[in-house]
Amino acid sequence: MIARLLAFLLLLLAPFPALAQTVVVHAGRLIADASRPAQGPSTITIVDGRIQSVVAGLTPPPEGARLIDLSTRTVLPGLIDMHVHLAGDPSGEFWREAVDSDEYQAMVGVKNARVTARAGFTTVRDLGSPPLVGFALARGTAENLFPGPRIIASGPAISIVGGHGDVNGFRPEVLEALGVGNTCTGAVQCAERVREMSRAGAQVIKFTATGGVLSQQGRGLEAHFTDEEMRAIVTTAHSLGLKVAAHAHGARGIEAAARAGVDSIEHGTFADAAALRAMRASGTAMVPTLMAFTGIREGLAENRYTPTVAAKVRETLSVVGRAAREARVAGVPVIFGTDAAVFPHGRNAEEFVILVDTVGMSPAEALASATTGAARLLGMDSEIGRIAPGYSADLIAVSGDPLADVRVLQRVEFAMVRGRPIE
């Protein structure tokens, strides 16, 4: 009697045990890590969204477990895109800034989150969206409110007044009314802006170290912040445990941002030998976003851009891929990122072809740049980027062998994020 009572009391005290959900994946071939050759048929056991075991051969699932049969497919780690803007779609219509509400852009983001995950990208870094939209999208997919990738969001980029990231091209009173720029002047204010972004929920800090191509700002593509301001942004972010991504095209802006210690240079279009040396010395990665230029070329052909933008577009298109190729040779890590939104979301994997054909990567190297390499740049390499026990169950399946032909990555047939298949 007393024993029964004790058992009953213990039951009351014990936390309600959530029923573990077990999913078993049968893989025909398995690329567990992009740096190692593919393995034969394998069984991956996933418990509550986390990989519990990976064993050779196809073993039957335990009773009550769900079986996902990918025994005619190649299973590999979910892909990571280090540079997207989920809340935007391709457009040259700069007046949209005065028309599209943040709420509308959030809806665009929900739509693109699913498209992106279906395309095999199970983690993305969202490097620029209206104030709270990126953070809301990140929370939305984490809580499974809608299908999408794991999202690491920066919120709006920090820029100089009138720079790439601020609003340009409207008359002053309209600019005043829009007031959406996330700008700063001087080291103190720039440090403050970083702390504000951190408070709002940023998981990474993005700033525009130079001018940008698709904004109406007409001050070119070189450095926009002072060295002192860049240092303030980077040291403040690092002191808060946040990585820093610097948008940069011009060589001197890239060099200054690298010297300030940024973790990645986004685009890096005109990087020269001195800029690449500074990147190497600081351990700064390059995220070349070459698909952005495919999108820009399409936009130019469709006459989508204003004269201010078209001039900058022509300046960049002649050198696309050169800096990434030289960065790779110079020993600077080149990491996968696309700038999706400049081209339609879902076409992210086309970047692999450019990394192989133009930058000179092997298929295995290109795949590593979107898995283990990207995970390292995120500081999440014990969580994502591999299929191994203890890792999040982020995996995809394709027909064919991506280590022989990266084009098969453009036809992802199955995607799972945090153990949840994306429908």
Subset of residues 76 to 115 that bind Zn ion, contact rule: CB under 5 A = none
Residues recorded for the chain: 423
The first and second tokens of residue 97, run together, are 């800034």
- Which residues neighbour 208 within 8 Å (Cβ) at sequence distance 6 or greater? 157, 158, 159, 160, 163, 164, 165, 224, 246, 247, 248
- C-beta of 315 vs 383, nearer to Zn ion: 315
* Min dist. Cβ of residue 306 to Zn ion (A): 18
Residues 307-366 touching Zn ion, rule: CB under 5 A, are: 339
Under 8 Å between Cβ of 237 and 260 = no
Count residues binding Zn ion (CB under 5 A).
1
Cβ proximity to Zn ion: between 270 and 391 the closer is 270
Is the Cβ–Cβ distance between 105 and 85 less than 8 Å? no
Q: Nearest residue to Zn ion, using CB?
A: 339
The CB-of-266 to Zn ion minimum distance in angstroms stands at: 6
Interface of this chain with Zn ion, residues 22 to 81, rule: CB under 5 A:
none
Q: How far is the CB of 101 from Zn ion (least distance, A)?
A: 21
How far is CA 196 from each of CA 132, 135, 303, rounded to the nearest angstrom?
Answer: 12, 14, 38
| Closer Cβ to Zn ion, 166 or 339, answer by number | 339
For the CB of residue 292, give the shortest distance to Zn ion in the complex, in Å: 7
CA atoms of 55 and 39, how far apart (whole Å): 10
Least separation, in Å, of the C-beta of 196 and Zn ion?
Answer: 21
Q: Which residues pair with 50 in a beta bridge?
A: 47, 392
CB atoms within 10 A of CB 192: 14
- 51 forms beta bridges with 46
How far does CA 10 lie from the centroid of its chain?
A: 46
Task: Report the nearest approach of Zn ion to the CB of residue 339 (Å).
Answer: 4
263 part of the interface to Zn ion, by CB under 5 A: no
Nearer to Zn ion by Cβ, of 97 and 339: the residue is 339
Comparison of 326 and 339: residue with beta carbon closer to Zn ion? 339
The Cα 22–Cα 60 span in angstroms is 13
Which is closer to Zn ion, CB of 46 or CB of 197? 197
| Residue ranges binding Zn ion (CB under 5 A) | 339
